[in-house]
Amino acid sequence: MDNKEYIVVTGAAGFIGSDLVGYLNQQGYTELILVDEFGYPDKAPNPEGKKYAVQVERESFFDWLTENRPVVSCVFHIGARTDTTEFDYSIHEHLNVEYSKKIWAYCTAHQTPLVYASSAATYGAGENGYDDRHNVVSSLKPLNAYGVSKNEFDKWALEQAGRTNGQGQAASQPPFWAGLKFFNVYGPSEYHKGRMASVIFHSFHQIRQHGEVKLFKSHRPDYKDGQQLRDFVYVKDVIKVCYWLMEHRPASGLYNLGTGKARSFEDLVKATYAGLDLPARIVYIDMPEDIRDKYQYFTEANMQKLRSAGYTAEFYSLEDGVGDYVRNYLAKGAYYE
């Protein structure tokens, strides 16, 4: 290839990845290498209208790199198998562990900064808290195969980063890397995600079709129906943090990425109704048994590490983020540009 510098975005046809491509365009970056499986019609609208240099199929990406030898200034590894109801670990292992190791190896060999997607699913039921300290990673107990795969790669990355050469310098890591533990991300461009789309997405469509929203009952006595708590973070904040890390490169490591404030599913649905200027109507239903014993009742990101690293921007409140998503995207059938 030419001597231009390129930014790689994996998962570029997906939810967060395609929004990140749009944000990079807004910041003036158009020499982008988009990596994904581009043959799915339901994901096809996500990259439309965005500026980039080339699209590369995920499974041929490393051969493509060898053949074309682009100069890459940063890799955003956002692509993953994210279905928490997929119990076949081998599927998650291939995409979320082994493929990520290849990305890491490329970035190490070419001294390319790397920002990759980890997940709050690594925290399991939260028995070890939601603190992104590295010394707790080996003790975490994820509740599903997806969370296990993300935690396995985090552990492996920390092992690589801990290796040194004869001069006491880290020998097996990119010059800068950050693994972002995404909490409950919602926002535009998740139309293709089906069952795995956010509660806001499903609530919006239930309201339009039936005039009411169904939420899972609580199956624990210490949580009332609708009061299960999650750290919901707007995708516009997520992509801003990704960009900030590329620009500022603080200390390498794992970083939580939520708002730092847990909110209830009831609050979330009420905010969705408010975005439509309608009164809330909620019906509680039993949680499917296949996920009942693997369900997180509480997540809340400890955001001190990212703040201490110098990130000062305010995060969207639940009401402002959901309102923007409902009014400007869902109600219009619009995608992030």
Residues 70, 6 contacting (CB under 8 angstroms) = yes
Closest CA to 117 of 195, 198, 40, 185: 185
Question: Can you say whether the dihedral through the CA atoms of 36, 41, 47, 52 is positive or negative?
Answer: positive
Residues 337, 46 contacting (CB under 8 angstroms) = no
Tokens of 284: 């509680």
- DSSP class of 49: T
Tokens of 333: 């059938």
What distance in Å separates the CA atoms of residue 146 and residue 95, rounded to the nearest whole number?
Answer: 10
Residues in contact with 32: Cβ distance below 8 Å, sequence separation at least 6, in sequence order: 6, 7, 8, 9, 12, 21, 24, 25, 51, 52, 53
Residues in contact with 192: Cβ distance below 8 Å, sequence separation at least 6, in sequence order: 14, 15, 40, 42, 43, 46
Q: Which amino acid is at 327?
A: R
What distance in Å separates the CA atoms of residue 296 and residue 230, rounded to the nearest whole number?
Answer: 8
Give residue for tokens 């994996």: 10
For the chain, helix, strand, coil in percent to 5 are 40, 20, 40
3-class secondary structure, 85 = coil
Q: 216 pairs with which residues across the strands? A: 285
Tokens of 196: 């795995």
Q: 283 pairs with which residues across the strands? A: 214
3-class secondary structure, 325 = helix
- DSSP class of 93: I
- DSSP class of 58: G
Q: Which residues are catalytic?
A: 146, 193
